[in-house]
A = this chain, B = another copy of it.
Amino acid sequence: MTNRACIIAVGNEVVHGFIVNTNSAWLARELGELGFDVAYHLSVNDRESELVRRIKAALDEGLFVVTTGGIGPTVDDRTRQGAATALGVELKLDHDALAKLQERYAAMGRKFPEGSERQCMRPEGSKHIQNSFGTASCFLARDGTGGIAALPGVPRELKGIWAEELRAAIIEEFGLHERYFSREVRVFGIPESELNNRMQQVLETPTAEGAILVDDAVIRLRWRVLARDQAGADEALQPLIDATKNELGDLVFCEGDVSLEETTVRLLAEKGLRVACAESCTGGMISDLITDVPGSSDVLLESAVTYSNDAKQRRLGVKPETLEAHGAVCRETAIEMARGIQQTSGADLSVSVTGIAGPGGGSAEKPVGTVWLAATMGGETKAWRLRVPGERELVKWRTARTALNTLRLSALHGRLPETIAYWIAPP
């Protein structure tokens, strides 16, 4: 029989819309991985009677109720009492949990705040769940086929508690011999429709559940299977990962939860390549992304954000004749920018972009989204004309990722790539 669950977020701030509730989606995915069928999410305010009614209705349906919020030290925090009443048991003080919390305050040299004992109360018969990330202790209780777990509303705390103790406690209490294991690869540079066609067979395999998740130009291919452990899951998943890499080649930039900038910086560091950028329409976003990765100082020498034509000439040696003859957005300017930054910085590899991000500046010949991207490596220079769809911020976003992908592919193959993304314009 499938275990069923629901998620109840408690708090006026959520119900009034002043906080966007990301916890419920996160918990739904985690519960899904454990094999629970999630029936619904509910957000309610902190009135105790309403809370009791909602929790009781869920327990009566045999659901496992995961609550977030309302377990702090103030009088507004009603989830502990609401859960106890719905379960039909008393709320009791957990003396061990209280002693530990008092010790933590003492260790910090701080006075134990009045009323904070409240945070160590839980329904009789429930299991204490440790919270190392905050002061409110949590609990897990079974009731028929379902039960209740109570978590705080702060996303960082909630995720920490889940990983540290709650997840394992749920597996044990519900006797989950099998759960979902998943693996994913991430892809850049191919449209979703084409990916769908090429990967259809692997996605629709009978041996696992496949899914495509799109974060703009970064596409994630993900499979999951019910198994007892990772090794068991990998028997089904490894052939799918292998088949995907085989089919898509260097369109796959990583396996697992790794960003394009992280992959790129790691690969450049591994190959000992030092890079420099010359940016116009991206305005610094390429180097901003690179420098989000710790350790990027081993890889990035500099980026010249040359927004004005004068800066393009002075910093990068773009010729006035080039700008006069073809304007700032053309093959020649992009090439001179890439060569200029490479030569003056001494980088092994350089990338440049110049384009029209919009909303102004477009023309019939060069509409908004026209971008020239050039790269230089080992004496070779290449340039690509892109037609990047979208508005200003999207043009910047997509162009910056395309530049990162150019660096990644160059590092991977030891030379400049042919194709960098699907928005290359026809010649």
Instruction: Flag if A300 contacts B307 (CB, 8 Å).
Output: yes
Instruction: Flag if B287 contacts A307 (CB, 8 Å).
Output: yes
- How many chain A residues sit at the interface, stated as a range, is 35 or more
The chain B residue sitting closest to A312, CB to CB, is B302
Interface: A314 (CB within 8 A): yes
Q: How far is the CB of A9 from chain B (nearest CB, A)?
A: 8
The chain B residue sitting closest to A361, CB to CB, is B297
The chain B residue sitting closest to A22, CB to CB, is B20
Instruction: Give 1 or 0 for each of A293-320: 1 = CB within 8 Å of chain B CB.
Output: 0111100111111111011001100000
Alpha-carbon gap, A236 to B294, bound state (A): 50
Question: For residue A287, which residues in chain B have a CB less than 8 angstroms away from its CB?
Answer: 283-284, 305, 307
Contact of A25 (CB < 8 Å), options: B20, B38, B306: B20
Q: Which of A26-34, A120-128, A381-389 contacts B (4 or more CB under 8 A)?
A: A26-34
Question: For residue A14, which residues in chain B have a CB less than 8 angstroms away from its CB?
Answer: 25, 41
Instruction: Flag if B24 contacts A292 (CB, 8 Å).
Output: no
Each complex incorporates copies of this chain amounting to: 2
Q: How far is the CB of A330 from chain B (nearest CB, A)?
A: 17
Instruction: Flag if A40 contacts B18 (CB, 8 Å).
Output: no
Instruction: Flag if B307 contacts A284 (CB, 8 Å).
Output: no
Instruction: Flag if A41 contacts B42 (CB, 8 Å).
Output: yes
Instruction: Flag if B360 contacts A294 (CB, 8 Å).
Output: yes
Can you list 16 A-B contacts with CB-CB less than 8 angstroms, sorted by A residue number?
Answer: A14-B41, A17-B25, A18-B29, A40-B43, A41-B43, A283-B288, A284-B287, A291-B307, A291-B357, A291-B396, A294-B358, A294-B360, A297-B308, A301-B308, A302-B315, A315-B315
Instruction: Flag if B18 contacts A20 (CB, 8 Å).
Output: no
**Closest 9 A-B residue pairs measured CB to CB?**
A283-B291, A284-B284, A17-B28, A302-B311, A284-B287, A17-B29, A303-B305, A17-B25, A41-B43
Instruction: Flag if B38 contacts A16 (CB, 8 Å).
Output: yes
Q: How far is the CB of A360 from chain B (nearest CB, A)?
A: 7
Q: How far is the CB of A68 from chain B (nearest CB, A)?
A: 13
Interface: A359 (CB within 8 A): yes
